[in-house]
A and B are shown apart, each in its own frame.
Chain A
Amino acid sequence: MPLTETPTLTVRSLLVWGLLAGLVGGLLAFGFASVFGEPAVERAIALEESAGGHSHGGDGHSHAEEPTEEPADEPVSRAFQATGGLGIGAVAYGLGLGGLFGIAFAFAYGRVGRLTPRATALALAGFGYVAVVLVPFLTYPANPPAVGQAGTIEERTALYFAMIAVSVVAAVLAGAATTRLTPRLGGWPAGVLAAVGYVVVVTAVAKLLPSYREVPDGFPGDLLWEFRIASLGTSAVLWAGIGVVFAVLLHRGTARR
């Protein structure tokens, strides 16, 4: 049976599905981060403290376990940071991302090729992960506690977000270019050309932006690796969770006759 009767989707239902997907994705990311991320965070904080206090101290920032320096100023216990705090952060971020995902899907659906609704959702999650997480990460990798100078936090944050913006804009342009060039070149050549264009642009921008070498001397390389892989994995679980759950809800919602 051809898909000629595909019901018109409403933005409202896409939004609800996006938020539900974000909730589930956030919970899954929380689970992954608890198991694979927290050990590295704990090790890094232990190192930070044994190294004689924070390299980034003096500005009120603390990892909440410094009784000698900040006895009264401990708004959140370390134990809660690693559990409830992590969960709240992951789920809140997941809900936010899920909402944006629903809106992005509303724009993308029917405008990028002839993919089915489910395939569009999964493609959006995959490309979204590359553009929003992977490419910015490769430019400015995630850092565990103890890595990073307090004095450069403003520029590093601004540059990280700038890289996300450049990458997302370049990805959207690449998507638009694929759609434009497909009638002339065919789908695959158009897609490959746009992908190469995207990679060239983000690589050049990443090369031009300043880089930071702020890993303290003696910081274990394996710990840095463990943390960064856990960070990439946490986001991968989040985006995959959102993509799959959204695709399932979408399919159920549109297959209903």
Chain B
Amino acid sequence: MTHAVATPLPVRIPIREILPYAVFVGVLSLLVMYFVSTEQGAVALFDGTTVHELVHDARHLLGFPCH
């Protein structure tokens, strides 16, 4: 099949191979991005303002509502 056409389609990665990684990375990545974008703003998992203050400028400049 790949030899028959001029521009062969790239070989897809089966969904079932991607899924475990997708779940694992999805959770971890979104958690990290949550801490930069939201924690101690609209929602807070931890008390205080340290996380918010630390990533404050990145949060503003990445376009997230800060306060």
Contact = CB atoms under 8 A, between A and B. Distances in A.
A177 interface: no
Interface in A70-94: 73, 75-76, 80-82, 85-86, 88-90, 92-93
Given A143-B60, A160-B65, A75 B53 contact: yes
A88 B13 contact: no
B57 A93 contact: no
Contacts of A225: none
Given A11-B18, A99-B29, A114-B9, A231 B53 contact: no
Interface residues of A, number: 74
Nearest to A95: B32
Contacts of B33: 92-93, 96-97
A109 B60 CA distance: 33
Contacts of B38: 157
B12 A33 contact: no
A133 interface: yes
B45 interface: no
Nearest to A44: B60
A76 B40 CA distance: 14
A231 B12 contact: no
Given A9-B11, A92-B32, A106 B57 contact: no
Contacts of B8: 2-4, 6
